[in-house]
């Protein structure tokens, strides 16, 4: 074979091997975490491992639509995971345990199912004992109906309630607030000289005392990012996925026996006083922590901190009460 | 205006020149955006968070609006149309085409 | 306007004759092609950030339809990498012919397939799946690989560039539209060819290979099937082959009467209009139908697609033709007058392509820096934002292209009509109608 022919063949072979080999090699050494809509597989991989105190570097990319990433119950800013682009993030854990990471930008009906876990090994200086949620210690059946026997005619106002509550023997403590529904609080004021609507105003004031403007703002942001898509931007249970949830429930009811109430259904309407005023913060906390057991309501226990849930509950009651204006 | 993979609803708008347009973008499945050709304005909406885009329709003609947040495979073709006033450019172009045709036809007449 | 022989310049002639410049371009293209396959298969599934989608359907397509075809005819074929591996195998060498050539089957492509019908079908197949093809990196990677392997396979069975000449979906329309281009490869003096012994331009010699496009250069009168590979310039012992600059669409003065080419014109015209409606229109139902391959709506879409291209468009054309006198057979009238649709179709594709290219060209910057979506930033442009370009220029250029195309096709219709002694008016009216529809779809 002539020299130029041989050299050219070598050149071509080297070039092709390089063009294929180099990217392939780098690709195989790049550990990417792929975000996909739940319907397409969710997070891949969905189990990560880390050591206490050792920084965990993650490379996240989306394979389809806009997603986001955050880890539950640690203090971090959520990051966007964009289609076709790589987001780099470094996490450091002080306590061992199993953490849940989740998608933070709505990516379809099953967005909330897009979760994974980070198993963090190692020892920590102060082990934290687990706490029993309030609804459990109160022995509340959070799936039982909780309709209020009577409801106010106008929306109760905390401002009016404040004026009325000055001389009343009202239990203003957090324990009382958390363990009693507004209706129960309304009932407990039966032996006062107030009218019904005045009593509701006092209840609204009671609720206001147990929250703060800040928690309302926090709660609103949490609601908008996590709840509004199903429960509606105005809390009426008519979010963009409400119809899909109902349709999914109707479609599945044909094969389900028993527990008809636990199928996928239209999200709760927070503007409905009968339903909401009969629910105590503890009950709402229970629902949020545990989820809806097949109703389509996600479980947030591993995602939100306790404070976040109380903030969210404060915001949810603002569909019923006029407070912190 | 609802946005879903891969169309807007409604997907065709007709407005008058000078109108102040406010579009409330409601994403019904994933995060979508709205970008208006010619006006270079845009907005992004997550499901559950209606986003508002306001602009003055001061440019005449027909413009496409499209999604500017990658929302799946057919994202580059998620398109709608807004017509401000009448689509003069189209009519003039068709008129020009007609004129051109007449011109060409006439120009052959002298030949046998 | 006369022809200007470009190969008169020694610089041009030697650059074209030497194998090295061409090979350098070939290697770059081949590497790009292989990388596009790789990117399609292992890169991010998000089309807008994957090298294969961005560089094939935006960058390469833009250069092809806006520059290569209108100005260089089959210029892309001159540098396309698809036939290379097969051809190297077939020839037994990468450069000049070796002393001992390998024995492959070298079968002649059967007469039944020696037309562009297979190319019409392969283009249509891609067109029916285009929504998925244009947006899914995996699919683009597989199709590119399939074409490469098909070309290699065909080269081991058949002689010359069988894939390029008879199967390649791109070659089908590049060939048709190359008739409008201002560049051509032709012999200088017919008498020289008559006296030439052995015809090495077609049969090969020690200096080079016989025409891989199965064309006899001595008989070339149109660009349609010449792939500008320059082999004949290397083999001609009489320096009788030239590359000329010439007026646009000189070939259309001699209209073809082949049905396969006529239908190709309709396929291209129709698919440009359908794409403009489905991809650039506001009708989500059509997009869903086009994308959900395999569903019943997609079948309906495919059927409508085929009816438009093989039924409605040629049918209306035929109706117009029936109005004209019938001394010439209808088939001949149909074929030669459909030549008028060639410049129109080209301009339809230019206008349509401009829209999505200018809208999405900014993706090229990001894909250049991070071709596989792995988080690289090779040139610093990985985070370049999506931003439509030159939007104020788009509508005027589209109008110019479409109206210009209409004028061009009207004149072509007149010349073709003269040849078959009929009136060109029905064809011109037809062109006006489809142009108006295209204007409405795009503007």
pLDDT by residue (tens digit) across C157-187? Answer: 999 999 999 999 999 999 999 999 999 999 9
User: Is residue B109 over pLDDT 80?
Assistant: no
Query: Is A279 within the bounds of a domain?
Result: yes
Antiparallel, parallel or unpaired: β A47-51 and B7-9? unpaired
CB-nearest to B31 from A105, A230, A233 is: A105
The residues facing B25 across adjacent strands are B51
Tell me, yes or no, whether A110 and A144 share the same domain.
no
Q: Which chains touch C (3 or more CB pairs under 8 A)?
A: A, B
Do A64 and C45 make contact, defined as CB atoms within 8 angstroms?
Answer: yes
Task: Give the burial string for B90-104 (b: 16+ CB within 10 Å, else e).
Answer: beebbebbeebbeeb
Tell me, yes or no, whether A180 and A85 share the same domain.
no
| 3-class secondary-structure state, position A186 | helix
How many separate domains does chain B show? 1
Residues C142 and C125: their CA atoms lie apart, in Å, by: 14
Q: Are A205 and A165 in contact (CB under 8 A)?
A: yes
Tell me, yes or no, whether A113 and A145 share the same domain.
no
Tell me, yes or no, whether A313 and A256 share the same domain.
yes
The residues facing B9 across adjacent strands are B2
pLDDT of residue C150: 96
Residues A132 and C285: their CA atoms lie apart, in Å, by: 52
pLDDT of residue C225: 95
Region of C367 please: left (phi>0), alpha (psi -120 to 50) or beta: alpha
Query: Is B95 within the bounds of a domain?
Result: no
pLDDT by residue (tens digit) across C98-135? Answer: 888 888 999 999 999 999 999 999 999 999 999 999 99
**If you average pLDDT over every residue of chain B, what do you get?**
93
CA-based nearest residue in chain B for residue A68? B31
CA-based nearest residue in chain B for residue A105? B46
Q: Would you give the DSSP letter of residue A241?
A: T
Counting one residue from B and one from C, how many pairs have CB atoms under 8 Å apart?
109
- E strand or H helix at B30, and its extent? none
Q: Is B75 on the interface with C (CB under 8 A)?
A: yes
- E strand or H helix at A214, and its extent? helix A213-226
| List of chain C residues whose C-beta atoms are within 8 Å of the C-beta of residue A84 | 44, 46, 48-50, 366, 373
- Confidence at B56, pLDDT banded by 50, 70, 90: very high
Query: Is A98 within the bounds of a domain?
Result: yes
Report the pLDDT averaged over residues C402-417. Answer: 93
Sign of CA dihedral A10, A16, A22, A28: negative
Q: Which of A179, A264, A273 is closest to A230 using CA atoms?
A: A264
Do C374 and A11 make contact, defined as CB atoms within 8 angstroms?
Answer: no
Tell me, yes or no, whether A144 and A271 share the same domain.
yes
Query: Is A13 within the bounds of a domain?
Result: no
| 3-class secondary-structure state, position A154 | coil
CB-nearest to B26 from A82, A105, A240 is: A240
Residues C73 and C179: their CA atoms lie apart, in Å, by: 7
pLDDT by residue (tens digit) across C209-239? Answer: 999 999 999 999 999 999 999 999 999 999 9
pLDDT of residue C364: 96
| List of chain B residues whose C-beta atoms are within 8 Å of the C-beta of residue A230 | 48
User: Is residue B112 over pLDDT 50?
Assistant: no
- Distance of residue C5 Cα from the nearest chain A Cα, in angstroms: 31
pLDDT of residue A160: 87
Q: Which chains touch A (3 or more CB pairs under 8 A)?
A: B, C
pLDDT by residue (tens digit) across B68-94? Answer: 999 999 999 999 999 999 999 999 999
pLDDT of residue A166: 77
Residue with tokens 């470009």: C6
Report the pLDDT averaged over residues C285-290. Answer: 95
- Distance of residue B71 Cα from the nearest chain A Cα, in angstroms: 5
CA-based nearest residue in chain C for residue B7? C284
**If you average pLDDT over every residue of chain C, what do you get?**
93
Structural domain boundaries, residue B63 = 2-86
Do A65 and B48 make contact, defined as CB atoms within 8 angstroms?
Answer: no
Domain map (residue ranges) of chain C: 255-442
Q: Are A288 and A304 in contact (CB under 8 A)?
A: yes
Tell me, yes or no, whether A194 and A62 share the same domain.
no
Query: Is B61 within the bounds of a domain?
Result: yes
CB-nearest to A19 from C23, C34, C50 is: C34
- Distance of residue A62 Cα from the nearest chain C Cα, in angstroms: 8
Do A105 and B72 make contact, defined as CB atoms within 8 angstroms?
Answer: no
CATH code, domain carrying A68: 2.60.40.420
Domain boundary among A121, A144, A175: A121
Tell me, yes or no, whether A174 and A289 share the same domain.
yes
pLDDT of residue A325: 64
Do C93 and A5 make contact, defined as CB atoms within 8 angstroms?
Answer: yes
Sign of CA dihedral A9, A11, A12, A17: positive
| List of chain A residues whose C-beta atoms are within 8 Å of the C-beta of residue B26 | 240
- E strand or H helix at A285, and its extent? helix A281-290
Do C42 and A27 make contact, defined as CB atoms within 8 angstroms?
Answer: yes
Query: Is B92 within the bounds of a domain?
Result: no
| List of chain B residues whose C-beta atoms are within 8 Å of the C-beta of residue C280 | 64, 77, 79
Tell me how many degrees the CA angle A34-A35-A38 measures, rounded to the nearest 5. 130
Query: Is A9 within the bounds of a domain?
Result: no
User: Is residue B111 over pLDDT 60?
Assistant: no
| Chunked mean pLDDT (size 10), chain A, 325 residues | 88 94 94 94 94 94 96 92 95 92 94 95 73 90 88 89 79 87 89 86 90 93 95 94 90 66 87 93 94 89 93 94 80
Antiparallel, parallel or unpaired: β B12-15 and B79-84? parallel
Sign of CA dihedral C119, C121, C125, C127: positive
Residues C434 and C436: their CA atoms lie apart, in Å, by: 5
Report the pLDDT averaged over residues C88-96. Answer: 92
Tell me, yes or no, whether A109 and A157 share the same domain.
no
Q: Would you give the DSSP letter of residue A153?
A: S
Query: Is A88 within the bounds of a domain?
Result: yes
Q: Which of C83, C72, C25 is closest to C213 using CA atoms?
A: C83
- What ipTM does the predicted assembly reach? 0.94
- Distance of residue B77 Cα from the nearest chain C Cα, in angstroms: 5
How many separate domains does chain A show? 2
Structural domain boundaries, residue A87 = 33-121
Residues C172 and C124: their CA atoms lie apart, in Å, by: 11
Q: Which of C294, C228, C182, C280 is closest to C74 using CA atoms?
A: C228
- Mind giving me the DSSP string for A5-56? HHHHHHHHHHHHHHHHHHHHHHHHT--PEEE--GGGTSEES-EEEEETTS-E
Q: Is B62 on the interface with C (CB under 8 A)?
A: yes
| List of chain C residues whose C-beta atoms are within 8 Å of the C-beta of residue B7 | 282-285, 287-288
Report the pLDDT averaged over residues C368-379. Answer: 94
CATH code, domain carrying B82: 2.60.40.420
- Residue in A37, A38, A63, A66 to test binding to B, most B beta-carbons within 10 Å: A66
For the purposes of burial, counting CB atoms within 10 Å of the CB of C112, is it exposed (0-12), middle (13-18) or buried (19 or more)? exposed
CA-based nearest residue in chain A for residue B73? A64
| List of chain A residues whose C-beta atoms are within 8 Å of the C-beta of residue C45 | 63-64
Query: Is A18 within the bounds of a domain?
Result: no
| List of chain C residues whose C-beta atoms are within 8 Å of the C-beta of residue B80 | 282
| List of chain C residues whose C-beta atoms are within 8 Å of the C-beta of residue B36 | none
Q: Which residues contact C429 (CB under 8 A, 6 or more apart)?
A: B101, C320
* SS3 annotation, chain C: CCCEEHHHCHHHHHHHHCHHHHHHHHHHHHHHHHHHHHHHHHCCCCHHHCHHHHHHHHHHHHHHHHHHHHHHCCHHHHHCCCCHHHHHHHHCCCCCCCCCCCCCCCECCCHHHCCCHHHHHHHHHHHHCHHHHHHCHHHHHHHHHHHHHHHHHHHHHECCCHHHHHHCHHHHHHHHHHHHCCEEEEECCHHHHHHCCCCHHHHCCCCCCCCCCCCCHHHCCCCCCCCCCCHHHHHCCCCCEEEEECCCCHHHHCCCCCHHHHHHHHHHHHHHHHHHHHHHCCCHHHHHHHHCCCCHHHHHHHHHHHHHHHHHHHHHHHHHHHCCCCCCCHHHHHHHHHHHHHHHHHHHHHHHHHHHHHHHCHHHHHHHHCCCCCCCCCCCCCCCCCCCCCHHHHHHHHHHHHHHHHHHHHHHHHHHHHHCCCCCHHHHHHHHHHHHHHHHHHC
Tell me, yes or no, whether A150 and A291 share the same domain.
yes
């Amino acid at each position: 074979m002539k020299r130029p022919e041989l050299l050219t063949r070598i050149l071509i072979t080297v070039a092709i091997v390089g063009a294929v080999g180099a990217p392939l090699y780098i690709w195989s050494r790049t550990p990417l975490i792929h975000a996909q809509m739940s319907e397409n597989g969710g997070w891949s991989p969905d189990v990560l491992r880390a050591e206490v105190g050792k920084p965990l570097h993650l490379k996240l990319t989306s394979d389809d639509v806009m997603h986001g990433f955050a880890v539950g119950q640690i203090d971090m800013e959520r990051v966007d995971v964009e289609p076709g682009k790589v987001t780099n993030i470094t996490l450091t854990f002080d306590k061992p345990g199993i953490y849940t990471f989740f998608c933070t930008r709505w990516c379809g009906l099953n967005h909330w199912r897009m979760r994974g876990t980070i198993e963090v090994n190692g020892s920590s200086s102060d082990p934290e004992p687990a706490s029993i949620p309030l609804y459990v210690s109160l022995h509340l059946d959070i799936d039982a109906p909780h309709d209020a026997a009577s409801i106010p005619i106008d929306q109760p106002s905390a401002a009016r309630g404040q004026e009325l509550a000055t001389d009343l023997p009202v239990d203003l403590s957090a324990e009382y607030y958390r363990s009693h529904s507004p209706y129960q609080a309304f009932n407990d004021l039966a032996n006062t000289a107030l009218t019904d609507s005045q009593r509701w105003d006092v209840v609204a004031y009671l609720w206001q005392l147990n929250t703060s403007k800040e928690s309302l703002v926090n709660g609103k942001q949490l609601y908008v990012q996590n709840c509004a898509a199903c429960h509606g931007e105005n809390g009426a249970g008519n979010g963009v996925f409400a119809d899909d949830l109902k349709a999914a429930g109707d479609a599945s009811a044909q094969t389900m026996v028993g527990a008809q109430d636990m199928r996928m259904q239209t999200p709760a309407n927070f503007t409905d006083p009968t339903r909401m005023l009969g629910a105590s913060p503890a009950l709402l906390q229970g629902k949020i922590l545990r989820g809806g057991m097949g109703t389509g309501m996600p479980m947030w226990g591993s995602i939100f901190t306790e404070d976040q849930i109380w903030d969210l509950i404060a915001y949810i009651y603002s569909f019923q009460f006029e407070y912190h204006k | 205006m609802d946005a879903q993979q891969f169309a807007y609803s409604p997907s065709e708008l007709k407005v008058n020149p000078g109108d102040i347009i406010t579009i409330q973008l409601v994403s019904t499945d994933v995060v979508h955006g709205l970008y208006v050709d010619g006006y270079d304005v845009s907005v992004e909406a997550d499901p559950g968070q209606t986003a508002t885009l306001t602009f003055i329709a001061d440019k005449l003609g027909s413009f496409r609006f499209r999604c500017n947040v990658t929302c799946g495979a057919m994202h580059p073709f998620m398109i709608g149309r807004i017509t401000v006033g009448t689509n003069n450019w189209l009519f003039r172009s068709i008129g020009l085409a007609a004129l051109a045709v007449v011109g060409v036809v006439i120009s052959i007449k002298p030949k046998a | 306007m006369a022809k200007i022989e470009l190969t008169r310049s020694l610089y041009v002639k030697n650059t074209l004759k030497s194998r090295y410049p061409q090979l350098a371009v070939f290697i770059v293209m081949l590497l790009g092609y292989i990388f596009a396959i790789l990117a399609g298969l292992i890169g991010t599934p998000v089309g807008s950030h994957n090298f294969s989608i961005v560089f094939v359907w935006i960058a390469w397509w833009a250069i092809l339809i806006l520059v290569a075809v209108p100005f260089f005819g089959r210029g892309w074929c001159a540098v396309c990498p698809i036939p290379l591996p097969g051809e190297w195998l077939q020839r037994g060498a990468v450069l000049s012919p070796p002393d001992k050539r390998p024995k492959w089957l070298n079968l002649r492509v059967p007469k039944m397939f020696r037309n562009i019908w297979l190319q019409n079908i392969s283009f249509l197949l891609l067109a029916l799946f285009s929504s998925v093809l244009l947006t899914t990196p995996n699919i683009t990677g597989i199709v590119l690989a399939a074409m490469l392997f098909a070309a290699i396979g065909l080269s081991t069975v058949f002689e010359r560039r069988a894939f390029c000449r008879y199967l390649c979906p791109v070659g089908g329309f590049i060939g048709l539209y190359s008739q409008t281009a201002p560049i051509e490869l032709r012999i200088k003096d017919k008498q020289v060819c008559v006296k030439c012994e052995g015809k090495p331009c077609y049969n090969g010699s020690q200096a080079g290979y016989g025409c891989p496009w199965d064309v006899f250069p001595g008989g070339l009168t149109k660009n349609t099937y010449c792939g500008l590979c320059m082999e004949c310039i290397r083999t001609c012992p009489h320096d009788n082959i030239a590359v000329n600059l010439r007026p646009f669409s000189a070939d259309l003065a001699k209209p073809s009467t082949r049905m396969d080419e006529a239908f190709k014109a309709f396929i291209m015209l129709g698919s440009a209009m359908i794409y403009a409606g489905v991809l650039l229109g506001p009708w989500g139902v059509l997009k869903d139908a086009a994308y959900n391959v395999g569903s019943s709506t997609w079948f309906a879409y495919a059927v409508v697609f085929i009816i438009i291209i093989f039924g409605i468009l040629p049918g209306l054309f035929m109706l117009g033709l029936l109005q004209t006198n019938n001394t010439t057979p209808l088939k001949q009238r149909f074929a030669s007058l459909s030549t008028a649709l060639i410049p129109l179709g080209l301009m339809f594709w230019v206008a349509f392509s401009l829209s999505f290219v200018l809208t999405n060209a900014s993706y090229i910057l990001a894909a250049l820096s991070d071709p596989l979506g792995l988080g690289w930033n090779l040139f610093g442009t990985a985070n370049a934002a999506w931003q439509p370009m030159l939007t104020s220029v788009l509508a005027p250029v589209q109008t110019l292209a479409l109206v210009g195309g209409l004028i061009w096709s009207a004149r072509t219709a007149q010349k073709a009509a003269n040849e078959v002694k009929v009136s060109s008016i029905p064809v011109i009216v037809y062109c006006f109608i489809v142009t108006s529809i295209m204007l409405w779809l795009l503007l």
